[in-house]
Amino acid sequence: MKMTSKLMAGAATMAIAVTGALPAMAAEKWDMPMAYSASNFHSENGATFAECVTTGTNGEIEITTHPGGSLFAGADIKRAIQTGQVQIGERLMSGHQNENAIFGFDSIPFLAPSFEDSAKLYAAAKPKMEEILDEQNLVTLYAVPWPPQGLYFNKEVNSVADMAGIKFRSYNNATSRLAELTGMLPVTIEAAEISQAFATGVAESMISSGATGYDRKVWESLSHFYEVDAWLPYNYVMVNKDVWSATSDANKAIITACATEAEARGLQASKDYTQFTMDGLAAGGMTVGPAGDQLMSDLRAIGETMTAEWLEAAGDDGKAIVDAFKASQ
């Protein structure tokens, strides 16, 4: 529902009447769009971060989260922050691999398949990522990985040959490419829409975390989850650079402290959620377990192709990230 300006003026007059005076300094309101459901750990973590900022700044900056793609759909969130339509937001960065191959550093199959490795890969990529985002008018506050990515199907699958012709839900370039290389048919769908897509047969399969399948109750349509541990993609919380520059040093310090806490809390939640959500998928009736040997060796071969393609697309900067990651292992 949209309030008319007359109604809003009325509400403001009432607020003044109740509080007795105008506040000394108008509180700044920051809207924070997020693409994933309110119950998802990233969204819960974002809500806690928002509270931390609102309380820490004594309400000088009040952040309101908008989960589930309710304010902007996932694909539009980054641009909305860049252009100042919103002050802050969260986005799966690999969703923008088509803008810059570097953004896909975290979706290279089998390069960094554990939480430990992925933290090292993220650290290796961070300076370059922040430089690119800075050029796009964005300041990164914190980033949190999703749990390891596995494959969902509505039937038993033991090899890549078994995947031929399946309609596959993708969420970034890497997942679309994986579909092509496995003979599946990619269709890009936001996480917020997948329950519907699976229920209506628009998609029959996806690669994602146990977390997303659990949040979207995919057991209502799908039967198998294979642990593949392909990669751990990162969600980034970013603020518009002009908004950041106009923020007082005291408030910047508070926001940065809240972000540091959110990064650690989010990582822990991602780890805790991994087994919890796979148990949840099983409790929902799905067959959950490691992918078989044939499937894994087929996927590894495809992973090599995708790694070579990414290195080619990401050039010297991409190579430098992978080299720095390998040196840190």
Nearest to 154 by CA among 227, 216, 220, 228: 220
Is 191 a binder of ligand PCA (CB under 6 A)? yes
CA distance 205 to 184: 9
3-state secondary structure of 203: coil
Cβ atoms < 10 Å from Cβ of 236: 24
Which one of residues 171, 214, 273, 310 is an interface residue with ligand PCA (CB under 6 A)?
171
Query: Using CB under 6 A as the criterion, what x/- string covers residues 24-63 for binding ligand PCA?
Result: ----------------------------------------
Rounded (10°) angle between helices 249-283 and 41-56: 160
Question: 89 near 237, Cβ under 8 Å?
Answer: yes
Give 174 or 181: the residue with its C-beta nearer to ligand PCA.
Answer: 174
Give 228 or 255: the residue with its C-beta nearer to ligand PCA.
Answer: 228
Site for ligand PCA in 230-259 (CB under 6 A): 233
Residue 56 makes CB contacts below 8 A (sequence gap 6+) with 254, 255, 257, 258
CA distance 94 to 173: 8
Is 209 a binder of ligand PCA (CB under 6 A)? yes
Give 103 or 146: the residue with its C-beta nearer to ligand PCA.
Answer: 146
Number of residue whose CB is nearest ligand PCA: 209
- Burial pattern 182-196, b for ≥16 Cβ within 10 A else e, equals bebebbebbbbbbbe
Give 53 or 178: the residue with its C-beta nearer to ligand PCA.
Answer: 178
Which one of residues 146, 231, 234, 244 is an interface residue with ligand PCA (CB under 6 A)?
146
Which one of residues 97, 208, 221, 277 is an interface residue with ligand PCA (CB under 6 A)?
208
Query: Using CB under 6 A as the criterion, what x/- string covers residues 83-112 for binding ligand PCA?
Result: ---------x--------------------
Query: Residue 115 corresponds to which tokens in the numbers above?
Result: 């939480």
| Min separation Cβ 171 and ligand PCA, Å | 4
Give 166 or 211: the residue with its C-beta nearer to ligand PCA.
Answer: 211
Rounded (10°) angle between helices 293-328 and 173-181: 140
| Min separation Cβ 233 and ligand PCA, Å | 5
Chain residues in the site for ligand PCA (CB under 6 A): 92, 146, 171, 191, 208-209, 211-212, 233
